[in-house]
Chains A and B, each alone.
Chain A
Amino acid sequence: MGNKLLLQDLIDRLSESGKLKKKDAEQFLRAFFKVIEESLFQGEVVKIQGLGTFKLLKVDARKSVSVSTGEEFQIDEHYKISFIPESSLKELINKPFSHLEPVDLGQVAENTSLLTEMGQTDKADFSEERSNVKSKEFEPEKKSKKAEPNIVKGEEIDIDIDRRNIENKTVQSVHDLEESPEEIVGSSHHRTIIIWAVFALIVVSLAIWAYLSNSAAKKDDIRKEEAIEAYENGQKENAIQQMDTLTGFVEDSLINDSITKAKKNGEEQEKAKVTVPKASKHKTKTSGTGVQVSNPADIATETMKQGGRLTLMALKYYGNKVFWVYIYEANKDKITDPNNIPVGTKIRIPKPDSTKINARDSECIVKAKSLQTRILSK
């Protein structure tokens, strides 16, 4: 065991087992190795039964870097001697470990949990969005916490026609994500773990939300972000409005889409339901044009257009979309559902009351948000 044997030992063994003298054995072995060597040099492949195959392998020229000087130098093309043991020899040598078999460890653990987490995150988002405003506070924090799906989500908040696209895509991807772990995992044990993970995630999400609603300082930053995003989206919206008819068509087809998808599975149905009212919300359109001043208390009057929204008007006139609630208050008589305002409705934009409407004041925004919650929960 672990001894280093030399040619002499091989000679001894050979002469013991065989019928030849030590001298002959030595002669034979020397010739044996010599033949192998010579044959290799002639480019032959030498196969010895019960042992293995010797052959020369060509190593292509390559560049390398000198370890000491860091200089590049060329390693020339050369040959190396390779020995491939026969499987019988391999088995013989591996006897001590032959009882070991490869073990299937199943699905890569991180993948599974990641998939569930992604699926779950979206679920949480949807439920949050049902209670509406809250999700806006919720989102940015989650963005940092759980990467991808939230980024998509975060953009979604900033109402746009593109948004429906994103939403539909998200629904689809959620569908994919939810199916895949089940396909792969298979075992009921894993399912239980997933269910627990999902449950834990919901609890964590709620805790984060509770924390956020109490932290005014953080919200301030978030609101700034929102305002910027909303502004960008507002610009996009203007461009899109020029293609009213087209977008209307796209919209309808998208809604239909989400309904069809909803039929696919129960869980998704739930989400799609959320998607549909959302889509219709954006039907609540306003035009950026046709501004008239008819009432001295108003700064403008807008006509609701395809693709228009109260939030966009609020952003345009008051600097933050959350102040749409005041536009709604001023037009309560004409608007039955703030999420679905008929095209052509004249919307009065009241003069902003600086104590209530001030995009730079976080308290105003908080008030508007609570008002928004009340209006939307009606």
Chain B
Amino acid sequence: MDEAQTTELVKLTASAIADILAEANTLAIKGFGTFEVKKQEERISVNPATGNRWMIPPKLVPVFKPSSLFKDKLKTRGDHGQ
């Protein structure tokens, strides 16, 4: 497998994941985490400069939750090179 192929595969994977999420499905990858779609409720925000109020409509946002295994690994590996 060369670089060009890999790049293509990565793109394919990304679009596959995006499709899954666009269909409002959840994708759980063992040992890595879960991709899901959450609904963000509508809210009212105030522009502090003008005092104008805006109604922000509800929206759907993609969310990634790392699996507990992933998080544990993160804990045990103290040094993250940062």
Binding site for B on A (CB under 8 A): 1-7, 9-10, 13-14, 17-18, 20, 28-29, 32-33, 36-37, 40-44, 48-52, 54, 56, 58, 78-81, 83, 85, 89-90, 92-97, 100-108, 111, 184
Give the residue name and chain of the A residue nearest to B42 (CB): A100
B9, B23, B25, B77: residue with the most chain A Cβ atoms closer than 10 Å? B9
> CA separation between A33 and B18, bound complex, in Å?
16
User: Quick check: B25 and A7 within 8 Å, CB to CB?
Assistant: no
User: Quick check: B24 and A108 within 8 Å, CB to CB?
Assistant: no
Chain A residues lying within 8 Å of B28, measured Cβ to Cβ, are: 4-7
Q: Quick one: which of B18, B52, B58, B80 contacts A43, CB cutoff 8 A?
A: B80
CB distance from A83 to the nearest CB of B (A): 3
Q: Quick one: which of A28, A32, A81, A93 contacts B37, CB cutoff 8 A?
A: A93
Q: Quick one: which of A9, A14, A40, A80 contacts B27, CB cutoff 8 A?
A: A9
> CA separation between A101 and B79, bound complex, in Å?
44
Q: How many A-B residue pairs have CB under 8 A?
A: 161
Chain A interface SS verdict (over half): mixed
User: Quick check: A105 and B29 within 8 Å, CB to CB?
Assistant: no
User: Quick check: B23 and A1 within 8 Å, CB to CB?
Assistant: yes
Q: Is B44 an interface residue (CB 8 A)?
A: yes
User: Quick check: A32 and B10 within 8 Å, CB to CB?
Assistant: yes
User: Quick check: B55 and A105 within 8 Å, CB to CB?
Assistant: yes
User: Quick check: A100 and B25 within 8 Å, CB to CB?
Assistant: no
> CA separation between A184 and B56, bound complex, in Å?
21
Give the residue name and chain of the A residue nearest to B62 (CB): A85
> CA separation between A75 and B22, bound complex, in Å?
37
> CA separation between A33 and B56, bound complex, in Å?
35
User: Quick check: A92 and B23 within 8 Å, CB to CB?
Assistant: no
User: Quick check: A9 and B20 within 8 Å, CB to CB?
Assistant: yes
Give the residue name and chain of the B residue nearest to A36 (CB): B32
Give the residue name and chain of the B residue nearest to A85 (CB): B62
